[in-house]
Amino acid sequence: MTEQGDRWTAEQVLALAPDVASRKAGGRLGGPGPWSQTGGSASGAVWGLCKGSGSTPYRTVVDLTGPAYKCSCPSRKFPCKHALGLLLLWAAEGLGEPGQAPDWAGEWLAGRAAKAARPAGGPAKPVDEEAARRRAERRAARVGAGVGELEQRLSDLLRGGLAGQEQTGYAGWEETAARMVDAQAPGLAARVRELGTIPSCGPGWPARMLEEAALLHLLDRAWLGVSALPEPLAATVRNRVGIPGASGEGEAVRDRWLVLSQYDSVSADGRLTTRRIWLRGLGSGRPALVLDFGPPGRPPGLALPVGLVLEAEARFRPGSAGLRADLGERFAAATPCAQAPAGVSTEAALEAYGAALREDPWLDSWPVVLGPVVPIPGELGWQLADVEGTSALPVALAGGRSRSGLWQLAALSGGGPVTVFGECGHRGFTPLTAWQPDTPEPVALV
């Protein structure tokens, strides 16, 4: 289909798997045995027939520009094991010279191309500006009432002291969060829920709870005075409260985007899986955060393997410190990056995070590529030190992640320098992806 240098690695293919079972099943279909009539096109598609338990083989096609998948099997997983197996076969051996897709694959690919060519959203509908203004005013009033109630709750917390919060339990905070949802302030509700879980987080929880309560108070006061704030900061406040701008309002940037990291987190109630995908524009150098969500029992639909480069348009949302973006049109199939990204010193990483805090005081972390750095153990935990030994950042394992990624990083380094991508915040640096010297292949640490 494409030249050898453009094919993905097996690790990048398996990163698309929705679960461990799919990884194992796809791996068993990654050889030529069950496949027939395989092929690929120069535009970035692969296809083939996979023998199953029945008399009719499964028809499988993958559009690498998405990636997107179509298979005649009954599986509800995306990608299914047949799509994963086909991609593994292509990654290992290639599928010969580019050719024309069979009718069953070509029909689906043509439908995708036609859909991409249509203007998004269709004809614009007339907007009743007066009605929209009234709705915004009603919501602002409800949010304001919720903010006043939350401020009273925080005052009661400080007046009564933090010592009894371990015995008080979470139920009171969940009730307050529900009140914020009623006030149409989901951002405040999420922060209240997080505040309520802190007393069960182990040693040092009082200091952390005080920090989070202070940030929540700052957000409340910012909302009450949002009309007097500069527009970029006002947009940030609205976004943090839970009133984000429309996805089509921000700046559109076309670039070749390197996938730096992809990982999932599950909400405390188990009802929502959030996938965070970090990108960096190879031309602009701009970071971008793409979010996707999945309901209970199903992973998010968007999957971008670490180390691939996709040429696409990213539209950045206002009020998100210039990070949150939505991927738009993609112009070519994703290909592996030819080299590891350039890193900066630990001092430069802290400066970048500090600059971002001026735009968004509630920002937990900032995406940074460090390098070259050496992971070293210390009395208070692991650190990532510049090779000159002049400065270092403590390693933070956020969100209750296991230490396996840290041991993997230490083994990858072997006491030598590595390049590491991660999130730099006030609690330290959370490593997500690493590269050894002189190799473009990334190693995912989460």
For the cut 80, the answer to whether the pLDDT of residue 401 exceeds it is no
* pLDDT average, residue stretch 55-66: 91
* pLDDT average, residue stretch 171-195: 93
Res 218: pLDDT: 97
Question: For residue range 285-331, what is the model confidence (pLDDT) as tens digits?
Answer: 999 999 998 877 677 888 899 999 999 999 998 877 889 999 988 88
Q: Which residues contact 108 (CB under 8 A, 6 or more apart)?
A: 61, 70
Query: Cα(251)–Cα(335) distance, rounded to whole angstroms?
Result: 25
Residue 338 φ then ψ, to 5°: -85, -15
Query: Which segment, 59-63, 116-120, 245-249, is predicted with the most confidence on average?
Result: 59-63
Residue 445: both structure tokens together:
């640490």
Question: For residue range 224-238, what is the model confidence (pLDDT) as tens digits?
Answer: 999 999 988 998 999
- Helix runs in 228-383, H state only: 231-241, 346-359
Res 238: pLDDT: 93
pTM (global) more than 0.75: yes
Whether the bond into 67 is cis, omega within 30 of 0: yes
Query: Cα(134)–Cα(244) distance, rounded to whole angstroms?
Result: 18
Q: Which pLDDT band, with edges at 50, 70 and 90, does 272 fall under?
A: confident
Res 302: pLDDT: 86
For the cut 50, the answer to whether the pLDDT of residue 3 exceeds it is no
Q: Which pLDDT band, with edges at 50, 70 and 90, does 2 fall under?
A: very low
* pLDDT average, residue stretch 91-120: 84
Question: For residue range 92-103, what is the model confidence (pLDDT) as tens digits?
Answer: 878 888 888 999
Res 423: pLDDT: 96
Query: How many CB atoms are closer than 10 A to CB 32?
Result: 11
pLDDT exceeding 70 applies to what percent of the chain?
94
Q: Round the average pLDDT of the chain to a whole number and report it.
A: 89
Question: For residue range 188-211, what is the model confidence (pLDDT) as tens digits?
Answer: 999 999 999 999 888 889 999 999
| Cβ–Cβ < 8 Å for 157, 172 | no
Helices and strands of the chain, counted as H and E runs: 12, 16
- H/E segment holding residue 443: strand 443-444
Residue 414: both structure tokens together:
């072997």
Q: Which residues contact 166 (CB under 8 A, 6 or more apart)?
A: 199, 200, 205
DSSP-derived pairing of the beta strands 58-63 and 68-71: antiparallel
Residue 63: which region, alpha, beta or left (left: phi > 0; alpha: psi -120 to 50)? beta
For the cut 70, the answer to whether the pLDDT of residue 245 exceeds it is no
